[in-house]
Amino acid sequence: MNIQFLGAAREVTGSCYLIEANGLQFLVDCGMVQGGRDAPERNRTPFDFDPKKISFVLLTHAHIDHSGLLPKLTCAGFKGPIYTTSATADLLGVMLPDSAHIQESDAERVKRRSHRGKTTASSEPIYTMADTRQCLRQVRAIGYDDMLDPHPAVRCRFRDAGHILGSAIIEVWITENGKTTKIVFSGDLGQPGRPILRDPTVIEEADFLLIESTYGNRDHKDQTSTLDELVDIVEHTRHAGGGNIIVPAFAVGRTQEILYHLHRLTCEGRLHDLMVFVDSPMATEVTRITRQHLELFDEQATKLAGWHKLGADLPYLKFTASVDESKALNLISSGAIIISASGMCDAGRIRHHLRQNLPRRECVVLITGFQAKGTLGRRLVDGARQVRLFGEDVPVRAAIHTLNGFSAHADRTALLAWADGFATPPKQTFVVHGEADTALEFAEKLRADKGWTVSVPELGSKVDLEGGRDDQQ
């Protein structure tokens, strides 16, 4: 029995793990690499395995860095089922077609601009809308906590990870040569005590554990301080500066949480006369799906009167649909809060709003989520004075504010607390889904504080789960 780390190993994106046992091969996640100049090439590179030999896929959640290459997998010959939670299955029906649409649109744009309308292999879509439709036909929805037997030698269970709607920790039991081994995949863990979603489920035992480490080297600012800072930024920008607030936000999770807080702060009288625009068709559809899964909300979110009616009865909130409506937002010079995708600023309508507002000193760009290395969002956070957008050099004069308290990922303290839930240490823990320095630091923390056997696997490394440990440090 072995596991191969094909993504999110000493990096944050591209989650993909190949498990082999009893002559069986299956995947946990099949995500896109995001950020960095080599990301497009890596996403196009053929898989390091034969997709036709994969029996099934277990998917932790819908974010593209975990699900984004599933249509490529099916196009390459994978015919098996893709098991995931019901909410994730619903979200995939929005996110994967959106990913295909972006790729097809980018390819068409390259074709129009190229000499004689020619394209190259590197400009063609990784997959098409037709590929996505086929992929979605292979998705199978599973309820939280239900036992699933995808193969006679494999049992698994999806547990609430509290990260985004439908996100899951996956427990997997594999029987080989009469012996059963339990592997736990943390997926992306949410920050406990946060509004809307429930806290991550505590897992008490595992032989082998894969734990994420996105924020494994630091803690988030507390929620009260974060909301105070949000109120200060909004009020100062609207009344003193007179500009707009541009919020790059992931369509799944982050957009809904920001809307929740703006609505709550308005109900509490801390914010007034807001003019909020959600300029993302995908975020609009995801918000609709979110309202259909109120059973997954925590008590605090359920009790907030009117939250589930967002977009229906709040006069200060508008969801834009058409391209013309999106373009019209550029005519607003002040007072607007524009929430748009993508969350790392590398695609989508947010880039148009950044081009319009970054050169203006009276405007603010509000960063509310993790920005991977190589992304436009990371360059803004790191203090770039000029960025390239649509072939133009755009000066950065707007203020860049980062509110880490809104992160959907557990911070170091929360990750360690979740690890405390194990009654006995796993035989081996693999720290994944974190930039190299962060993952290594978190691994050392687990060793020092808990005495666990921990390693940080290299990308592409394969570990025999019975014959010995991975010596990557």
Q: What is the pLDDT of residues 259-295, one digit of tens each?
A: 888 888 888 889 988 999 999 888 778 877 877 776 6
pTM assigned to the model: 0.86
What's the average model confidence in pLDDT over 119-137? Answer: 87
- Which burial class, exposed, middle or buried, applies to 9 when counting CB atoms under 10 A from its CB (0-12, 13-18, 19+)? buried
List the alpha helices (DSSP H) in 346-421: 350-357, 376-381, 412-419
Q: Do residues 320 and 201 both lie within one domain?
A: no
Q: Do residues 380 and 247 both lie within one domain?
A: yes
How confident is the prediction for the chain on average, in pLDDT? 89
On whether residue 473 sits in a domain, the answer given is no
Q: Do residues 131 and 273 both lie within one domain?
A: no
Name residue, tokens 């009276």: 362
Which residues are 25's β-sheet partners?
20
Which residues are 30's β-sheet partners?
16
Whether cis (ω within 30° of 0) applies to the bond prior to 322 is no
Q: Do residues 288 and 181 both lie within one domain?
A: no
Q: Do residues 128 and 253 both lie within one domain?
A: no
Last residue of a domain, one of 372, 406, 440: 406
In whole angstroms, what is the distance from residue 257 CA to residue 235 CA?
19
Last residue of a domain, one of 362, 386, 406: 406
Which residue range is the domain that position 452 belongs to? 2-218+409-464
What's the average model confidence in pLDDT over 216-245? Answer: 89
- Which burial class, exposed, middle or buried, applies to 333 when counting CB atoms under 10 A from its CB (0-12, 13-18, 19+)? middle
What's at 11, amino acid-wise?
E
CATH number at residue 165: 3.60.15.10
pLDDT digits (tens, 9 = 90+) for 17-37: 999 998 999 999 999 998 878
Q: Do residues 214 and 279 both lie within one domain?
A: no
In whole angstroms, what is the distance from residue 399 CA to residue 72 CA?
39
In whole angstroms, what is the distance from residue 311 CA to residue 6 CA?
40
Last residue of a domain, one of 385, 406, 427: 406
Nearest one of 33, 126, 28 to 71, comparing CA atoms: 126
Q: At what angle do helices 281-291 and 86-113 cross, to 10 degrees?
A: 170
Q: Do residues 65 and 76 both lie within one domain?
A: yes
In a 3-state reduction of DSSP, which class is residue 42? helix
Q: Do residues 43 and 140 both lie within one domain?
A: yes
pLDDT at 177 over 80: yes
- Burial per residue of 129-149, b for 16 or more beta-carbon CB atoms within 10 angstroms, e otherwise: eebbeebbebbeebebeeebe
Q: Do residues 355 and 339 both lie within one domain?
A: yes
> Dihedral through CA 79, CA 85, CA 90, CA 95, nearest 10?
-70
Give pLDDT, residue 238: 79
Residues 177 and 171 sit within 8 Å (Cβ to Cβ): no
Name residue, tokens 């990557």: 472
Number of domains in the chain: 2
Q: Do residues 387 and 242 both lie within one domain?
A: yes
pLDDT at 85 over 90: yes
Give φ, ψ of 272 to 5 degrees.
Answer: -140, 150
On whether residue 424 sits in a domain, the answer given is yes
Q: Do residues 459 and 372 both lie within one domain?
A: no
DSSP state of 82: E
In whole angstroms, what is the distance from residue 208 CA to residue 211 CA?
10
The model's confidence at residue 312, banded by pLDDT at 50, 70 and 90, is very low
pLDDT digits (tens, 9 = 90+) for 403-457: 878 888 999 999 999 999 999 999 999 999 999 999 999 999 999 999 999 999 9
On whether residue 203 sits in a domain, the answer given is yes
On whether residue 472 sits in a domain, the answer given is no
On whether residue 311 sits in a domain, the answer given is yes
